[in-house]
Structure 1
Amino acid sequence: MHASDIAGPLVVVDRSTPALDAIRLIADQDLLGLVIAEHDGHPSAVVSSIDVTRYMLPGYLLDDLSLANTLGADGVEDLRVGMEGRTLGDLVDDDSVAVRRVLVVPADAGLVEVAARMVDAGTQVALVHDPSRDEPVFVTLPGLLDALVGRWDARS
């Protein structure tokens, strides 16, 4: 089994995507992260959902978690208001957010190779270099682990 066998499409968003839209997309589709494309549409970065959430929270809350309990119901609305006018490009350019370059793996890479490359890069998403496809396709860590477990189960 190769990377191309378990690859599939993912939502790719542009740097100009409003941050609120990105948060809604993550919530609606239960995404682990977002693939961000440059203006030419080429996937260039991956940001995890936890880092998008970190970007949404005011720094003082992360510095002192006990303050988070003091915000109450109004705090939820404050988060939304704080994100208005911000884009994924702003998030990518923020030094507090861990943004990873898109890992590219060959279409014929085996499952173990893809796993090793993903762990080495510290990413949950890899772009599969497959010139035979018109749209970009990706291997996700859950998809990779599902394929590995499926292989183990098939041998039992």
Structure 2
Amino acid sequence: MHAVEMAEEYPVVDVDSDALAAAKLLAERRLPGIVVTDSSGCPCSILPASQVVQFLVPRYVQDDPSLAGVLDESMADRVADKLGGKTVRSLLPEKPSELPRVQSDDTIVEVAAIMARLRCPLVAVMEDKRLLGVISASRLLELALTHG
């Protein structure tokens, strides 16, 4: 089975899209992440939902999780405030990692190898510079278990 056969339509956001709208899309659809494109529409990154969660937690709490117990629940109420006025670009790491991408004719094993190496729940399926779709880890597992 080739990547193009495994690929599904998947939400995509631009690097300059509203961060709050992107977070809502992740939450409402319960997505593990979302493909981020540059101004030309070419995929440039994957924004994992975990990265958005990390953005919401203050650095001092990330460094010392025991401090989380002293924060009140009103912090959760301020999530929208923290994302308001920000772009998706501000949620991405300063040093971008390699974009998880495969070619349309790559096999299920090649797709799995990229996901495993980059520890990413999504890969973009490309043909030349065009995005054909996305393969999620759950989709890959479904196909591997069904055809295995």
TM-score normalised according to structure 2 size: 0.87
Q: Does 1:29 align with 2:29?
A: yes
The alignment of Structure 1 onto Structure 2 pairs a total of residues equal to 147
Deviates more, 1:33-42 or 1:80-89: 80-89
Deviates more, 1:48-57 or 1:84-93: 84-93
Shift of 1:138: 1.4
Shift of 1:31: 0.5
CA contact (8 A) 2:43 2:131 kept: no
Whole-angstrom CA distance in 2 between matches of 1:31 and 1:59: 24
| Contiguous gaps of at least 5 residues in structure 2 | none
CA contact (8 A) 1:118 1:124 kept: yes
Q: Does 1:105 align with 2:102?
A: yes
Q: Based on CA coordinates, which of the two structures has the bigger radius of gyration?
A: 1
Q: Deviations over 1:45-67 (max 9, x none)?
A: 01211111101211111122222
CA contact (8 A) 1:57 1:79 kept: no
Superposition pairs of residues 1-156 of structure 1, within 5 angstroms: 1-94=1-94, 99-130=96-127, 136-152=132-148
For the residue of structure 2 that corresponds to 1:9, the secondary structure is coil
CA contact (8 A) 1:36 1:43 kept: yes
Whole-angstrom CA distance in 2 between matches of 1:119 and 1:93: 20
Shift of 1:78: 2.7
CA contact (8 A) 1:100 1:123 kept: no
CA contact (8 A) 1:102 1:125 kept: no
After superposition, the Cα gap between the structure-2 partners of 1:135 and 1:106, relative to the gap in structure 1 and judged at 3 Å, is: closer
Whole-angstrom CA distance in 2 between matches of 1:94 and 1:86: 15
Whole-angstrom CA distance in 2 between matches of 1:90 and 1:63: 20
Q: Deviations over 1:100-124 (max 9, x none)?
A: 3322212221111211122123222
Q: Percent identity?
A: 27
Shift of 1:93: 4.9
Shift of 1:125: 1.6
Q: Which amino acid aligns with 2:75?
A: G
Shift of 1:94: 3.9
Q: Which amino acid aligns with 1:54?
A: Q
